[in-house]
Amino acid sequence: MLKRASQLFLPRLINTRPISTTIIMSEAKQEHPKQHSSHKKKSKLQVSLKTPKGTKDWADSDMVIREAIFNTLSSLFKRHGGVTIDTPVFELREILAGKYGEDSKLIYNLEDQGGELTSLRYDLTVPFARFVAMNNIQNIKRYHIAKVYRRDQPAMTKGRMREFYQCDFDVAGTYESMVPDAECLSVAVEGLTALGIKDFKIKLNHRKILDGIFQISGVKDEDVRKISSAVDKLDKSPWDVVKKEITEEKGQSEETANKIGEYVKLNGSLKEVHAILSQDEKITGNDLAKQGLDDIATLLQYTSAFGIDEYISFDLSLARGLDYYTGLIYEVVTAASAPPENATELKKKAKDKDEDASEYVGVGSIAAGGRYDNLVNMFAEASGKKSVKIPCVGISFGVERLFSIIKQRTELTAAVKPTATQVFVMAFGGGKDWAGYLPERMQVTKGLWNAGIEAEYVYKAKANPRKQFDAAEKAGCPLAVILGKEEYLEGKLRVKRLGPEFADDDGELIDKKDLIDVVKTKLSEIHEDGINEVARLLRGL
């Protein structure tokens, strides 16, 4: 009976497609008591069942993968001494105002709520600085995993969305120069390699070096930030396009733009670029640039100690458009970060340029961060608190962008099942006296739960073999524990591997008391090297 049932009813893959649905709601006809001859016309209200632009629902195996990313990163943050916090999803509008440069236009502003103007948080950094200032915290290592919101053009398949998760690790407090900065860079490397991403580079620059270059080139102090925003586009646009923006849109001279161009095209290893800049008398003669060079010289010792030099590229074109950065800045890129070579052509051909930009943009940076020493003090002074400088530095991982890269490991992704179920408890029998062993299945399942083993059973008293095998396949579990009508009365259970390749295998008959040990042994054999499908996916094995 068992062999035949497993052959006939071993699960078949079920493919489902999302269905776009429209609900039509009709108001019933109503008659006014005094107007029997006139009837109100039917009115119809159409509701499209879709998520807002730039957002999506997450379910099934995608959620399993995302949860594994969160767990990997939160474990990393804890290893580095991080404590977690949470802040409101919206902040007072004045808290966010003026912190993001040209990107401030992407903030979601909310309606007036009882006299308070609020906005959805744009990132997790500004709320953290507000939290530190508000609570008079002198030092903290914190991590925060939460959603942020940006009214940007989405590119859904590239992980560029309007609602997305960030995973941040920040260090606030006064410490030896560049020590927290180096640790944040190490956190970036550890986090990405733990997710199986190896072909990445940390593009690094120093805000003081960049500001020194602008001063040397003749940019006025009040124009520095808008020129930074233009230079920051060099990862997406060629120098000719950026130069045109600097001169025609930002009002700088041709000479100034050319001087900037001489520097921002420079990139290489930390040691190489530091050596080149150290021999430049204009750079060493500028106070700001010299401070930045000294920081890089110190940083070189620590990145070498952490063994992460091979991942770092000193790139003077990196500017990071956010206004609050004061020192070291960095962002992590991969081959998938850049847009396609024919991006301009693809953009022209795109049918709806406002809907989704996936065809002609890249993933962008998958992690980024830097030093922001004045942000906490800015909040403290604005609120009338005692002025105190709390230096800060941090790194932020973009989960949606990481997810889009991990999903490209198609074979490994296909092996990930939507549930964590490892064992399906079944019962086979028949005859007039057969009740289905439902309480008995529940009892066996409870024993597995108590042992920390993920298990399920069919919620039906008399479930036929096919329904049980179908349910086991849908759960994606690799093992079945079977209660045979006669075998169970003799204190026996059957443990069977599931899957087409085991159709002819009746499984192993064991004593009830040995169930937990046998199941654990078989599960360890199933997961090669003790690693399950999700762990194999994240590690790229």
Single out the residue of 159, 192, 155 nearest to residue 72, CA to CA.
Answer: 192
Q: Are 184 and 305 in contact (CB under 8 A)?
A: no
Residue with tokens 């952490």: 306
**Is 295 known as a binding-site position?**
no
**Is 166 known as a binding-site position?**
yes
**Is 422 known as a binding-site position?**
no
**Is 123 known as a binding-site position?**
yes
**Is 280 known as a binding-site position?**
no
Please state the separation of Cα 9 from the chain's center in Å: 39
**Is 457 known as a binding-site position?**
no
Beta 90-92 vs 392-398: how paired, if at all?
Answer: unpaired
**What is the C-alpha separation between 78 and 422, in angstroms, rounded?**
28
CA dihedral of residues 44, 49, 50, 51 (deg, nearest 10): 100
R_g of the chain, CA atoms, integer Å = 30
3-state DSSP of 375-404: HHHHHHHHCCCCCCCCCEEEEEEEHHHHHH
**Is 320 known as a binding-site position?**
yes
Q: Is 97 exposed, middle or buried (0-12, 13-18, 19+ CB in 10 A)?
A: middle
**What is the C-alpha separation between 96 and 122, in angstroms, rounded?**
8
Q: Are 72 and 406 in contact (CB under 8 A)?
A: no
**Is 325 known as a binding-site position?**
yes
**What is the C-alpha separation between 443 and 540, in angstroms, rounded?**
38
Adjacent-strand bridge partners of 494: 482, 509
Single out the residue of 57, 228, 56, 25 nearest to residue 154, CA to CA.
Answer: 56
**What is the C-alpha separation between 381 and 276, in angstroms, rounded?**
40
Please state the separation of Cα 84 from the chain's center in Å: 17
**Is 324 known as a binding-site position?**
yes
What lies within 8 Å, CB to CB, of 367 at 6+ separation is 188, 191, 192, 331, 332, 395, 396, 397, 398
Please state the residue numbers annotated as binding site. Answer: 123-125, 150, 166, 170, 320, 324-325
Please state the residue numbers annotated as binding site for L-histidine. Answer: 123-125, 150, 166, 170, 320, 324-325
